[in-house]
Structure 1
Amino acid sequence: MQHDRNIGAGRDGRCELCGRAVPELTRHHLIPRARHGKRRTQRRFAREEMRAHILWVCRPCHKHVHAVCSETSLEARYNTRERLLEHPDIRRFIEWIRSKPAGYLPRTYSKKG
């Protein structure tokens, strides 16, 4: 069985956005991999910076980030943990999901912008 490099235990088993302890975390690239080949992105960020800047997040947080932000806006505006937490929809979601048990999987609706 092949191990998915984008799923792991993360730093301490806690989501870096909501802080919940969960059995599996997913790797969120702060600069989306789909944007790494774009000239604009290559001018703004070094290759190692693009590859190294990741967060380990739970599936619900990861899905929500991608549901509310386009890859372009993630690259341009929300490319740090602090900036993600400033996004009103993400902040509201994180405040809500913190009270849910580790295995809870909410529905996610697309509101990209």
Structure 2
Amino acid sequence: MPDEAPTCFLCDRPLGQKVQWHHIVPKSRGGRETAPVHPICHKTIHATLTNKQLERDCASAEALRAHPELAKFVDWVSSKEPDFHAPTRRRKA
């Protein structure tokens, strides 16, 4: 049985040609562990949550997917190709 393709930490889709590495707990907050993500998923995580929120509330894939804005994003992106890209909106200040 062949190995399964690696998947994105956020959306769980197969990874494409471009892969970024997300610090599960932000590096600025002492995090060292990273997980592979699509560029669009990585941008969406950081456009939606502050480093403090990531450290405090969203230090797992399950917690990220449970966040209302990220859950909506994951639902939308789930049918897209692995290398799909679109502009990412920044969080409102």
Unaligned runs of 5+ in 1: 1-10, 37-49
**Given the alignment of the two structures, is residue 61 of structure 1 paired with residue 41 of structure 2, yes or no?**
yes
Tell me which of 40, 54, 61 is aligned to 1:81. Answer: 61
Q: How many pairs are equivalent?
A: 89
2:32 maps to 51
Equivalent position amino acid for 2:57 in 1: R
The one-character-per-residue Cα deviations of 1:13-54 (angstroms, maximum 9, x if unpaired) are 321222222123211111100122xxxxxxxxxxxxx323x2
The one-character-per-residue Cα deviations of 1:58-101 (angstroms, maximum 9, x if unpaired) are 11111000000001111111111111111011111011011112
Q: After TM superposition, list the pairs within 5 Å mapping 1:6-85 onto structure 2.
A: 12-21=5-14, 22-36=16-30, 50-52=31-33, 54-85=34-65
Matched residues, percent identical?
30
The runs of at least 4 consecutive aligned structure 1 residues that moved more than 3 Å come to none
Task: Let me know the Cα RMSD of the aligned residues.
Answer: 1.9
C-alpha distance in structure 1 between counterparts of 2:13 and 2:89, whole Å:
21
Contact 1:25/1:59 (8 A) holds in 2: yes
TM-score normalised according to structure 1 size: 0.70
1:96 maps to 76
1:46 maps to none
Contact 2:65/2:71 (8 A) holds in 1: yes
C-alpha distance in structure 2 between counterparts of 1:19 and 1:80, whole Å:
13
Contact 1:17/1:85 (8 A) holds in 2: yes
Unaligned runs of 5+ in 2: none
Larger Rg: 1
